[in-house]
Every structure is written in structure tokens, then in C-alpha cells.
Structure 1
Amino acid sequence: MEIRARGTRWSSRTLVAAASAALLGVLLTPTGAQGAQPGPGSAPGGRPVKESQPVYSYDDAIRESVWVDTGIDGDEDGRTDRVAVDVIRPGEPAEQGRRIPVIMDASPYYSCCGRGNESQKKTYDADGRPVGFPLYYDNYFVPRGYAFVAVDLAGTNRSDGCVDVGGRSDIQSAKAVIDWLNGRARGYATRTGTERVRADWTTGATGMIGKSYDGTVANGVAATGVEGLETIVPISAISSWYDYYFQQGAPLYDSGPEWLSDYVESPEARDRCQAVQQRLIDEAPRTGDWTGLWNERDYVRNAHKVRASVFAVHGGQDLNVRAKHLGQWWEALSDAGVEHKIWLSQTGHVDPFDFRRATWVPTLHRWFDHYLLGYENGIEREPMADIERAPDQWSTDRVWPPRTTEPTALRPGTGTAPGVGTLSRTPARPGATETFTDDPRRSEIDWAAAAELPTPDKAAFLTGPLSRDLRLSGAGTVTVTATPSTPTAHLSAVLVDLGPDTIRDYAASGEGITTLTERTCWGPSTTADSSCYRETAARTADVDYTVFSRGWADLGTYASAGHGKPLTPGKPYTLTIDLAANDHVVPAGHRLALIVAGTDQGLIDPPSTTPTLTLDLSRTSARLPLVGGAQAFARATAGPVPPRSAAPESRQHGVAEPRRTPPIPGDSSR
């Protein structure tokens, strides 16, 4: 899968504000989009801009709960479900007759598990009034003239209905709240009462934000095209739930969505939602076949409906919500002409507040000021991508992937030892093969550590040491023609940078960060809601190799990605494996390796058999997103190799074995 940036689709709000500013030479706040009074700020480089200021009282903010009717009866109790919506908003704008925009985080985790690196939960006073809102969004943005709205998804905490793991109920839980904020849905003062509550204090302009499951809901709501959703900030978010539990038929996590539903729903929901739980089992078979359940939970296919701008954040080494989700969502948004921006880190499943806090908060502030308040602060004209090149070292790209990125075919060839071949632009001779036997005890870390050695569990193909840096940006594919010895077989393909480096230790606890004891504060606090959070630092590892992209598939999906078939032993099959998106520079002096193997231990479930597979190298290739294309590869594989610097004495061979990530698209702390 190649991903490219296309043109942007500008919203009417942005076009009008930009035209006005250009004609009049002044900052205009669109009518109805009044937040805190703008004050001076600065953009990167010190350019002065206008930004919302913390002029409103956080202590005296209005804290209230509303139950919004979703219009569906997910638990089939004869009445439509209501979701609990906890609101905190400054009191002064309403007193002045001014309306404000909304920042919203819709989550299933507010009572079961908590949010953020410190697993915060909602808290309430004796009358049931919300007093503690997880994360810093309320502390930081409410004084600046925003409302913060925390939505309990259906079936969780204080909401009616059932959790359906990314399906209609989940998405409608949040969409209905946006409809209520825009006067199109009904809100009530209690869960079962008839007293109506109207959101007459808001402009209706809403920005959704959240990590993992929360960001996934933001993707899904944006894909409905709901009016009033102006922007989303999905962090480590799923774009298609099938790809969370499977990849091309290969099963992950040894469980399906029913486990996650049971994990997050309220105790009351477990009794009333038995039918929903059973559907999650019956319609999500562990065969890996695509069903209607997955179709409903595939947001990529509806990316053309997205009206909101998108600020996507993802860890290139996220082994929970893998970067494949980012890649396919990004490509679909690009094709649809959606305004979008990206931060791509070296971490695993980690929030930017915990890996780049001092830059993240003001960047997010400017993003919301622009898209929710209409301030012309120039953020939409800044580089599209921030990429972490080394721990805490970042570069930017005006467009991502860069315009010079071209999908380039690289070919494996035989070498001087069995299972250790070459990787070049030259096709292998007809009849050339490599053979390996699936060993479910071995992982990508084992394969990379033995890339130069003939081992029976993998086939590795290496370039020589590079004479120049070689950058891969985006998502690639690997097409294999393999002959299995059994009726079932799994395949893995990984890209490896062979050479010494210091990276974030994404496989360790924290997934690339260490939580410190010191705290920094991001807004005012109350006794029930602190704005102060523990600082973090990069947790690093000195390594001799880095696996930077990976993909898996069941060979039985050779004919159809949505349906597997039994294989005929001794018959060759051709299959293309999608690799996760990333952006990685293989430095001069290092080598690029493609490894093809069977079960990636700890990351995909083992098959019922352990086949031997024979690769037809003349019909096997990798199509990789090289910046500069084939010419860049030719330059990097020709010429003298620079001297290799000495490795640190404390260098280890690689990161630890990836942890068996639980099937919870939540925080790195769990």
C-alpha cells in the first residue's frame, strides 16, 4: 500500500476567515465562535500570533451532567438509550450571552480503567455532579473559553445501552452528543426523566480528541460526516476493527471483540447485553473471514465523508494499535482531500503528552484555536509532518510522505549460505528458492538478531552496507510466492535496519518512556481535579538492529483478503502482505534487510500446524516507499562505504521481546 499526500480540502469556515484576514489585514473571530479574548502568543520561530487566553475562572466553572438520547435501543429494553455526558464550561461567557466551542473525549474507560499515564477516572460529589475530569483538557482549555465534554460510551459508567466495540452503538454514542450540541438531538437532566436540557451555551463547533479507543471513536464519528464536528485529534487510533483483531486472516490476541466489550462495560450492562455479546462472538469468527460486523466497523471506506480536519498522532513502534491503522487512514484522507497533519514518534502506544509534552500542549492549543475559534494563527500552513528521528530529536516535512517518495521494487536473491540472501533491484534467476520452517517460539527479534546467520525458521535478504542514507516513508508491501507443506500457513514479513543505534525502548514497560516523580501543571486545579502530572523521559536502548516495519497474513487468503481457503500441500500460492506505515532512515554504513518467516511469536497467534514453506524468489519482491525512488536506492548501494563508528560498550543486541499486548486499545500503563 502506497500512501501519498494529496491536495487539501478547505472548510468554508477556513476559507471565509482566510479571505477576510487577507482583505482587512486583521484577525477576525467568526460570529458565534467566541471563546476567551485573544491575546498575544507566538508560533514556531517567534512569529507573533493571536491565541485564546486563560481569562475565565476554573473554580467557578459550570459542572453538569446531561443524558443524551442516541435514538437507538441497543439493549433492546423497549426505550432508546441515553448516554451520560459530563460537561465543564466557564460560567462567564453564558452570563455575557456568548457561545463557546467544545472539546470532546468519548470513552469507554472513564470508570473501568481510567485515562492517561496515571489512569485517572471520573469522580462525582454526593449529588452526582461531576467534579473530577480525567486528563488536562479541562484544566487547560476551560479557562481559555472552551467547554470540555466527557462522554461515557453506551454500556459504560452511567450510560444506557451496550458496548459494541466500534459499531453503531459506540459511534452513535458520540455522534448523538454532537447532534445535541447543535440542536438536533434531545438531552435530559436525568437518565430516565423527562426534563429537557438544551445546549444553548455552545456554537456547536466540536473537536474530538482521544487516545486509542477514544481516538478510534473520533475516527468513526468523523466518517459519518456529522455536521458540527470541525476537527479530530486521533492518537494511536484504530481505523478498521478487523485490522485490530486480524491482519489478512492471521489472528491476533487469541480473542475477539466480545472480550473487550465485557472488559469495559458497566456491571449493569453485562446482564442486559447478553445478546450483543453473543453477536460479537458469532459474527467475528476466529477464522479471520470478513463479515458484515467488520464492514460496519471499517471507517476507512467512509473517509470520503469526513468533513473535519484531522491531526493524527501515532507511534511507529505501536504493537497494540499497529501503524497499519494510521497508514490506511492517512491514505484514505489524502485521497479525499481532507486537511490533515501528523506526528509520528518512535514510541509504542504512548500519548504525545507523555513523550513531547512541552511542544504538544501549545501545538494542540493552536490547532483548536484555529479550527474551533477560527483564529488565523497559521498552523494549517506549517509543515504537515513531525517525525521523531531519534529519542527526542524531531524533523519536519512540508508534505508526508515527501513528494519524491516512490514505490520501488526490491528483489530477493540467493546468497552464499542457505536462508541468507541478497536484496537488490535485480530479479532472482528462475528456479531460485529459499526454504524455512515455521517455529512459533521465534519472533521478529530472534530473526533480526540472526539475520546474517542461516537458521531454519526464516529467510533473510540483505543489502550490502549502504554508502548513503536511505529513507523509507509510508507503507510498503511484500509479495511472496510460497509453497506450503500443510493445509494452513502463516507468513510474516519485517523490515530491519541492521546497524548500531540508540532508540526508544518500545518493547519495555512504558513503551519508550519512563515516568518520573516530578510534576508539571497545565492550568488551574481544584481539590478534586489537579492539573499537575508526572513528567516523563525517553527510555532508550542501544541496539545492533531495529525492526521498523512489519506485516502478517494467512496464506489461505491468497485468493480473497476477506475469506481464507485450505491450502494444497506442494502447490505454490502468491500473496501480497501489507507492511505497516513508518518513516525510517537507514543510515550509511547500515544494511537494509527483508525477512520472511512464519509465526511472529507474541504478535500473531500460531497456526494449528508448523509448515515448511518454500519461497520462489523469482516471484517474490518488496515494493517499498523510498524517498528518491530507485535512483536513491542505486546511489545508496553504490560507492564507498563510510567508516563505521565504534559501538557503545553497553550495547545490547536488540530490544527485549515484545510484550504480549493485551487486547485493550487503551493506555501504555495497562
Structure 2
Amino acid sequence: MTPSRTTQRVAIGTASAALLAATVLTGTPATAAAATPQSAPATATSGGAPSLRFVDIEGDGGITLKANVFTPAGSDGTRRHPVIVLPTSWSMPQVEYLAQARKLAEAGYVVVGYNSRGFWQSGGEIETAGPKDIADASKVIDWALAHTPADPHRVGMAGVSYGAGISLLASASDKRIKAVAALSGWGDLISSIYSGRTQHKQAAAMLGGTGALTGRPSAELRTILRDFLASDLSKEKDMIEWGKKRSPSTYLDKINANGAAIMLGNAWGDSLFPPNEYADFYEKLKGPKRLEFRPGDHATPEALGLFGLPNDTWTNTKRWFDHYLQGADNGIDRESPVLLKSRSTGAYEGYKSWRDVPSAHRKIELADSRRIHTNLDSGANGGLIFLSSMMDQFFRLPPMASIPLLPRPLAAVWQSERYETGQRVRGTTRLHTTLTSTAESGTAIAYLYDVGPLGLGKLVTHAPYTFHGKTPNQPFGVDLDLFSTAYDVPAGHRLAVVIDTVDPLYIEHNPSGARLTFSSPADDPSYVSVPVRD
């Protein structure tokens, strides 16, 4: 008899938990003997290592959440320790944070990592950071306070991706949470995967596919994904309302009232949650806060740290908790709260706020009209989910295009003059133009390229834009924020603005045979405003 997919998930998750547990606790590769949870050490070693145990925690509605608990070495129950709760990322097993959890436990924290509901061996269905997920987080805190030497006055939450979103949402509803580190998360879910009113096709397909493979999507989630990928505009209002309930930005007043110290971290090229809306969310926080952006794609800036390797993101996460949960005078509260790492140089830069990142703006005039055909890819695109931004992160090879060879019937192209000095692009590039379409709906994707002497363009940033319900052949204004970034344009290069209508990352809405015209009226000239740091 062939095992069911659920049985296979449980078997894989159980073996993975034991293997990684043995590796983390002993510091050596796990052997075949560590094939069941019972073989993983459950108490501190003779060298004084923290103890680890695997437990079941009752979640909201009585479901079982599979969890693991690290307790500091030598804890006898008379001393209370700060506690950090770690919900897993989307599709990740409960062992995701073991390496970092052990490091935190070595520093005196009780650490509880748990598998979010609906995934792997945890019960329930995938609620996508819905009310049941937030109730689960509070249930885990309840359990930690009742079953570990955790201090109820020093509670923190952290997570990557899905775990980041749950942690932020929980900080709005549970006043016990005093500090949060939300890595590669979101502030506004719909603004992330539906920016510019355009479906992020590859992102949604990845989430749906991995969710079905490793968990049990709820009927509501299956419906939302189906309507989203089918471009069913009649369900757009329902989708936006669904996303609003799952967006920390919806609960900003509660988050600010509760006053948790919140650290946000993200990647410039995040394919799921672009940096813009995280930066906007950060600016609206009123309590202690920190924002860090690094090169990479979704969750890649902190990924190596999950294996216990040196990692700046996790180092600062620990410093954040050390200060706000342990009272350590480590200086993190006195540092510039906005920390950016350049995609081009790898150097860090500190700023006192997100608004202060650019010190000037360079305008590229979009003079003269450009008319393009739709439905065919010009060759300018944002690349592939994960792969392209990881190539940029590790090899500084972003998506490229030969600007002189882009077919002008398919791509509108404007270029700046050559810059005599280098341009440090920092922040959010903005496009303003006048658009006329032969159809009532359509999609355009705007790109900004760094163009070298031979015409080869390296992608600096981009963003999609979709419109519906417009009067054909009637011009209308367009304002579009491209995804924020930190990129250095060398002296002697120029910037190119390219607009076309097809990109493999997105669903496009251009009817067959439609044409788009970009014009620059005398009383409302078109331009791209590029933020720079002098």
C-alpha cells in the first residue's frame, strides 16, 4: 500500500527534526541512528549546552502545534528567563530555527519554535496569518509561561517570512510581546503580491504550490489563489478584504499602542514582499524601531544563519533582543535605525529615517511620445523569482538587456545623458507619465537600467502597473513607485527607462492587438525621478 501524502509529510518532518536536532546539539553531522525524535538529546550535555525537547502545544480550537523548546543550561526553575517565540516560515518544518534557537538559549533565553498551523505535522489548515494563527501565537506564549522558566514580562517574537508576518500581527493583539524581529515579512499583504494592481504570478504560484505540497490549504485560501491567478476582477474586493485582515498595517494603531520594539529586515530584490511597503510600514511605527535592507531575494539575507553560519541579520536580531528583553547596553538603540547595504559595493550605510535616505533626485525627462504594441515580451524583464536576485546578491549579476537592441515597437525607451560622476541610487524611483490605451484595460512594466558604454543594461529596479475601466483612446495620468533599492551607477554610464507590456513575473491584462502610447503634455511633462545620495 502506498503511503498517503500526509503520512509522507509526517515521516519526512519527523526524520528531519531528529537529524537537524542531533546536528545542532552535537555540532557534528547527524548519523543514521538519529532517525526518530526519541534519539534526539532531551537534556543539556555535560558541557553545559542548553536542553532541547520536542513538545505538543494546544493551539486555537484544540489543534496540536508541533514545537521544540530550548531551555538555558543550568536552569532550575527558580530564575526566570526572557522567552522568544518563533513561528515557522511558509512550508518550513518545525526544525527551521534550531541553530539560531540554540544560540539564543546559550545567551540565556527560553526559545520556543513551532510549526505554524496547517503545515507538516501541526494540525488545522493553512489560514495564511489569519485570526487562528494569531490566536495560536498567544497560546504558545501561554504554554511557555506555564511549562518553562519564562519571564512573563520579557516576551519576544521573531520569524522569517510567514513567521515574520505572524509575529507582527501577534504584537497588535498580545500586549505581553515586548520585542519583535520580523525578517523578510510584509506590512501590507495585498500591496506586496498585487502591487500596481498587478498579480505577481510567480510569487502566488510558488506560495500555492509549496503550501499544497507541505500542508493543508484552507478552502478560503484555495479560493483566493484560484481567483487571483484567474484574474477574476469580480472577486477583487473580496481578495483585498481578505488581505487587509492579514496585514500588520491594518493594525498599526494597536501595534503602536502596545509599544513593542520592532526590528524589520528585508531584501532589495524580495520576489514576494518588495521593500517599498515594508519601508512605508516602518515610517508609521511610533515605538522603538529598526529597518535593515540587504541585497538578495526573499529570506536570502538571513538564510545562512538558519544553518548556524555567521550572519549579520541574525547577529542584529540577537542584539535587538539583548537590549529590549535583557536590558543590555549594547548600543543598538543609539545607532542609526535605518541600515542599508548597497547591492553594488556591499558597504553598510546608516540613516536616521527612511525619508532621509536620498539627499537629492535626478530627473530623466520622458520627452516625445512612444507608442508600443502589447502582448509580446521585448526582452526587458525582471528575471525569475529567487534566481535573479540571488545572482545579484552573490555575483552582482542582475537581469540584463541590450538597450540598443530592444525592439522599439515593443518597448518605449528613454535615456539620460552620461553621468560624469557616479550616481548612488538610494530609495524609491518614481515614474510620472500620461498614458493612452486603445483598450479599457492593460498592463505596463517600467524598468530602470544602468547602461554601460556598450549599451548593456543592468537592471536597477522595476515595477508593474495595471489599469481597468479606462475610456479607450482617452489619456490619463500614471504615477508609479518602482521597487526601492540601493545601487551605484558608475561614472561614464547612463540610466535608461524602459516600458513594455510583458514580464514572466506578472499576469498582464492587455487585450490582443492593443496599443499603449506614452506622451508628455506641455502642461504635465512626463519624467522619472531617481533618488540619489550625493
Q: TM-score scaled to structure 1, two decimals?
A: 0.61
- Partner secondary structure for residue 479 of structure 2: strand
Q: Once the 2 structures are TM-superposed, how far is the Cα of residue 466 of structure 1 from its aligned partner?
A: 0.9
The 5 A counterparts of 1:76-95 are 80-90=62-72, 92-95=74-77
Residue correspondences, number: 459
Deviates more, 1:80-89 or 1:460-469: 80-89
Aligned equivalent of 2:110 = 147
- Partner secondary structure for residue 517 of structure 2: strand
Q: Which segments of 5 or more consecutive residues in structure 1 lack a partner in the other structure?
A: 1-53, 74-79, 115-120, 123-131, 183-196, 415-431, 502-542, 557-564, 633-670
Q: Once the 2 structures are TM-superposed, how far is the Cα of residue 603 of structure 1 from its aligned partner?
A: 1.1
What is the identity, as a one-letter code, of the residue corresponding to 1:569? P
**CA offsets 1:568-606 (integer angstroms, 9 cap, x no match):** 332222232221121223232221222222122x11123
Identity of aligned residues (%): 18
Aligned equivalent of 1:345 = 294
**Separation in 2 of the partners of 1:361 and 1:404?**
23
Q: Once the 2 structures are TM-superposed, how far is the Cα of residue 353 of structure 1 from its aligned partner?
A: 5.0
- Partner secondary structure for residue 93 of structure 1: coil
What is the identity, as a one-letter code, of the residue corresponding to 2:505? L
Aligned equivalent of 1:308 = 260
The 5 A counterparts of 1:225-624 are 225-253=173-201, 259=208, 262-263=211-212, 266=215, 269=216, 273-274=218-219, 277-278=222-223, 281=226, 286-287=231-232, 289-291=236-238, 292-306=241-255, 307-318=259-270, 320-323=271-274, 326-349=275-298, 350-354=300-304, 357=310, 359-390=312-343, 393-401=346-354, 403=356, 405=358, 408=361, 410-414=363-367, 432-445=368-381, 449-453=401-405, 455-499=408-452, 544-556=456-468, 565=469, 567-600=470-503, 602-607=504-509, 609-610=511-512, 611-618=514-521, 619=524, 621-622=526-527, 624=529
The 5 A counterparts of 1:203-214 are 203-214=152-163
Q: Is the 8 A contact 2:57 2:140 kept in 1?
A: no
What is the identity, as a one-letter code, of the residue corresponding to 2:507? D
Q: Is the 8 A contact 1:56 1:145 kept in 2?
A: no
**CA offsets 1:81-110 (integer angstroms, 9 cap, x no match):** 453433221252334x1111122221255x
Q: Which segments of 5 or more consecutive residues in structure 2 lack a partner in the other structure?
A: 1-43, 383-398
Q: Is the 8 A contact 2:70 2:102 kept in 1?
A: no
1:106 is aligned to 2:106: no
Q: Is the 8 A contact 2:344 2:488 kept in 1?
A: no
Q: 1:220 to 1:496 in 2, by over 3 A?
A: farther
**CA offsets 1:209-252 (integer angstroms, 9 cap, x no match):** 22222222223323x25212222222222322223432232122
**Separation in 1 of the partners of 2:346 and 2:207?**
40
Q: Once the 2 structures are TM-superposed, how far is the Cα of residue 377 of structure 1 from its aligned partner?
A: 1.2
Q: Is the 8 A contact 1:484 1:571 kept in 2?
A: yes
- Higher percent of residues as helix: 2
Structure 1 vs Structure 2 CA RMSD: 3.5
Aligned equivalent of 2:170 = 221
Q: Once the 2 structures are TM-superposed, how far is the Cα of residue 361 of structure 1 from its aligned partner?
A: 4.6
Q: 1:452 to 1:283 in 2, by over 3 A?
A: closer
**CA offsets 1:441-461 (integer angstroms, 9 cap, x no match):** 334349962434562111122
- Partner secondary structure for residue 333 of structure 2: helix
Q: Once the 2 structures are TM-superposed, how far is the Cα of residue 615 of structure 1 from its aligned partner?
A: 0.9
Q: 1:56 to 1:444 in 2, by over 3 A?
A: farther
- Partner secondary structure for residue 281 of structure 2: helix
**Separation in 2 of the partners of 1:293 and 1:627?**
37
Q: TM-score scaled to structure 2, two decimals?
A: 0.75
Q: Is the 8 A contact 1:411 1:620 kept in 2?
A: no
Q: Is the 8 A contact 1:208 1:218 kept in 2?
A: yes
- Partner secondary structure for residue 474 of structure 2: coil
Deviates more, 1:398-407 or 1:298-307: 398-407
**Separation in 2 of the partners of 1:55 and 1:625?**
56
**Separation in 2 of the partners of 1:487 and 1:404?**
38
Q: Once the 2 structures are TM-superposed, how far is the Cα of residue 378 of structure 1 from its aligned partner?
A: 0.9
**Separation in 1 of the partners of 2:493 and 2:169?**
41
- Partner secondary structure for residue 75 of structure 2: helix
- Partner secondary structure for residue 287 of structure 2: coil
**Separation in 2 of the partners of 1:385 and 1:476?**
18
What is the identity, as a one-letter code, of the residue corresponding to 1:460? V
What is the identity, as a one-letter code, of the residue corresponding to 1:252? H
Q: 1:57 to 1:154 in 2, by over 3 A?
A: farther
**Separation in 2 of the partners of 1:275 and 1:398?**
42
**Separation in 2 of the partners of 1:57 and 1:207?**
27
Q: Once the 2 structures are TM-superposed, how far is the Cα of residue 280 of structure 1 from its aligned partner?
A: 5.9
Higher Cα Rg, which structure: 1
